[in-house]
Amino acid sequence: MNRPRLTIGDLQIYFEDGKSRFQDRLKRDRTMASVELELSEWQEFVERWLDNVEPPPTLRKLTPEEQQFSGATKKMAKDWRRFGFSNERIIIMLRSIKGARGTLTEEQADAIIEGVISTL
């Protein structure tokens, strides 16, 4: 059975048979009190890190032109895969269609094409 473990500094903490367990990666003889002390010292660092985590960016809604370009680009990639093209070849072909972006900016087209490539 794969038990989740958390490594903090030189300690690895986990639960086994419903009890708190720890393992010192340096194989030092430790008491539970010394482990608790070390974990409390790391607690400030972890809390500071959590306070500074940035939320994920909010996704904006695609314009109708972007939706159309995205749909066509996804269909092309799917068709090319069905025809037996390699991922490397599909990536080259997708990046070459940037010129057919219509009213989209180069940045919009790039974002859509890279999004499709990431799903290959």
d(CA 62, CA 71): 11
Per-residue pLDDT at 1 exceeds 60: no
Q: Find how far residue 45's CA is from the centre of its chain.
A: 23
Residue 109, domain member (yes or no): yes
- Domain extent, residue 46, equals 5-51
**94-110: average pLDDT:** 87
Considering the domain boundaries, does residue 112 fall inside one?
yes
Q: Are 94 and 116 in contact (CB under 8 A)?
A: yes
Give me the number of domains the chain comprises: 2
56 within domain boundaries: no
pLDDT digits (tens, 9 = 90+) for 12-42: 888 888 888 888 888 777 888 888 888 888 8
Residues 39 and 82 in one domain: no
- Residues 77, 43 share a domain: no
pLDDT tens digits for range 26-84: 877 788 888 888 888 889 888 998 899 888 778 789 999 999 999 999 999 999 999 99
Domain co-membership, 26 together with 71: no
Query: 41 and 81 in one domain?
Result: no
Beta bridge partners of 21: 14
Helices (H), 1-120: 32-51, 64-82, 87-96, 106-117
Q: For residue 57, is it within any domain?
A: no
Q: What is the per-residue pLDDT for 84?
A: 94
pLDDT of residue 90: 94
User: How many whole angstroms separate alpha carbon 27 and alpha carbon 14?
Assistant: 16
Cβ pair 86, 110 in contact under 8 A: no
Compute the chain's Rg from CA coordinates: 25
